A = this chain, B = another copy of it.
Amino acid sequence: MAKRGILSEEALELVAHRFSVLAEPMRLKLVHALFDGEKSVNALVEATGGTQANVSRHLQTLMQAHILSRRKEGLQVFYSIADPSIFKLCDLVCGSLEKQLSKQAGVFNHGGR
């Protein structure tokens, strides 16, 4: 277990910002699409069904947060996941949500007439 000291105001802002970057479905979709390796912007546009402009913008946001990395090759730009902690992060949240949902389902199965 990591030791958790007192967090400064500034540190809190950083952490909050990091979470906020992951708080958009489209960006999660992009990250998820990159789980199995790098992809070009066009490939990501197709994979997500978003517009090119929007996908590009979200990729910028993810880049600025150092979550993705860029590789330019001719006309195309390939993005890939730069911060491996994203995997664990998503696993954690998904796991926690599954638990919650199964509990809520339990309420229905249990209480229902």
Inter-chain CA distance A13–B2, complex, in Å, is 30
Query: Which of B15, B24, B32 interacts with A90 by CB under 8 Å?
Result: B15
Give how many copies assemble into the complex. 2
Considering the complex, give the chain B residue whose CB is closest to the CB of A67: B96
- Interface size bucket, A side? 35 or more
What B residues does A28 contact at CB under 8 A?
7, 12, 15-16, 19
Residues of A within 8 A of B (CB): 1-2, 4, 7, 9, 11-20, 22-25, 27-29, 32, 35, 66, 83, 85, 87-97, 100
Q: Provide 21 A-B residue pairs closer than 8 Å at the C-beta atoms, listed in order of the A residue.
A: A1-B91, A2-B94, A4-B87, A9-B25, A11-B94, A11-B97, A12-B28, A12-B32, A15-B90, A16-B23, A18-B93, A19-B20, A19-B22, A19-B23, A19-B93, A20-B20, A83-B100, A85-B92, A85-B93, A88-B92, A89-B89
